[in-house]
């Protein structure tokens, strides 16, 4: 057990400002990757920040980003566990409920990119199992480092690299099957 770092409210605020505030952006990116919905990501970050504030006096000051991303991940898991019993109360099928969880507004990039190619890429990503899709979301889409992704998902960095390799291979295979060959001109 570590010693309490903050003994007064002022010290608590200083610790919060130095350990939590600089990492709000990465917390949001990870939350967005986990929830796949901007409003839910904001709620998740708010809950995680509140938990971090309450626990700041027990934090030893080492590796604040890893500590915060662990709080985000655990908060997300807790929220998801609480929500599961309510998903199927109205007779909705499991598949329909899971499809509705990922709904979000299209980005500006999706309007500009060739719709056929975009559709194939989206299908390829959606066909990935969650354990492969999450590292792709965090590293390739949100720009987190392998270590940040490992911290956010609670897995070793080697597992992140392995899952990324497998996910990218599956995406390439999907693109090849659809007639898109990365790095070559289409006829």
The CATH number of residue 169's host domain is 1.10.10.10
Same domain assignment for residues 79 and 13: yes
CATH of the domain at 57: 1.10.1740.10
pTM for this predicted structure: 0.51
Same domain assignment for residues 112 and 83: no
Same domain assignment for residues 20 and 81: yes
> Looking at residue 162, what is its pLDDT?
95
> Looking at residue 126, what is its pLDDT?
86
> Looking at residue 82, what is its pLDDT?
67
| Residues 6+ away with beta carbon under 8 Å from 12 | 6, 53, 56, 57
> Looking at residue 10, what is its pLDDT?
83
> Looking at residue 98, what is its pLDDT?
56
**98 domain-assigned:** no
> Looking at residue 99, what is its pLDDT?
58
Same domain assignment for residues 49 and 113: no
Low-confidence ranges of the chain (pLDDT < 70): 1-7, 82-117, 180-187
The span from the first CA to the last CA of the chain, in angstroms, equals: 64
Per-position b or e across 134-164, b if 16+ CB within 10 A of its CB: bbbbbbeebebebebbbbbbebeeebbeebb
**1 domain-assigned:** no
Instruction: Tell me which DSSP letter residue 136 carries.
Output: I
Report pLDDT digits (tens) over 125-154.
888 998 999 999 888 888 889 998 999 899
H or E stretch covering 26: helix 24-35
Neighbours of 186 (CB within 10 A): 7
> Looking at residue 186, what is its pLDDT?
44
Same domain assignment for residues 125 and 80: no
Classify residue 5 as exposed, middle or buried by CB count within 10 Å of its CB (0-12, 13-18, 19+): middle
Same domain assignment for residues 111 and 83: no
> Looking at residue 111, what is its pLDDT?
35
Q: Count the domains in the chain.
A: 2
> Looking at residue 68, what is its pLDDT?
92
Q: Which domain holds residue 79?
A: 9-87
**3 domain-assigned:** no
**99 domain-assigned:** no
**73 domain-assigned:** yes
């Amino acid at each position: 057990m570590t010693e309490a770092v903050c003994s007064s409210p002022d010290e608590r605020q200083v610790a919060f400002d130095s350990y939590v505030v600089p990492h709000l952006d990465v917390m949001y990116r990870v939350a967005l990757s986990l929830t796949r919905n901007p409003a839910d990501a904001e709620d998740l970050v708010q809950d995680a920040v509140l938990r971090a504030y309450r626990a700041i006096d027990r934090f030893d000051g080492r590796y604040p980003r890893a500590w915060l991303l662990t709080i985000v991940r655990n908060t997300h898991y807790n929220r998801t566990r609480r929500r599961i019993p309510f998903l199927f109360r109205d007779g909705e099928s499991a598949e329909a409920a899971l499809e509705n969880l990922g709904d979000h507004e299209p980005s500006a990039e999706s309007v500009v990119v060739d719709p056929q190619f975009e559709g194939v890429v989206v299908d390829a990503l959606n066909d990935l199992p969650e354990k492969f899709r999450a590292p792709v979301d965090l590293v390739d889409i949100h720009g987190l480092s392998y270590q940040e992704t490992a911290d956010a998902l609670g897995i070793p960095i080697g597992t992140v690299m392995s899952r990324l390799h497998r996910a990218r291979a599956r995406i390439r295979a999907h693109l090849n099957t659809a007639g898109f060959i990365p790095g070559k001109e289409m006829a």
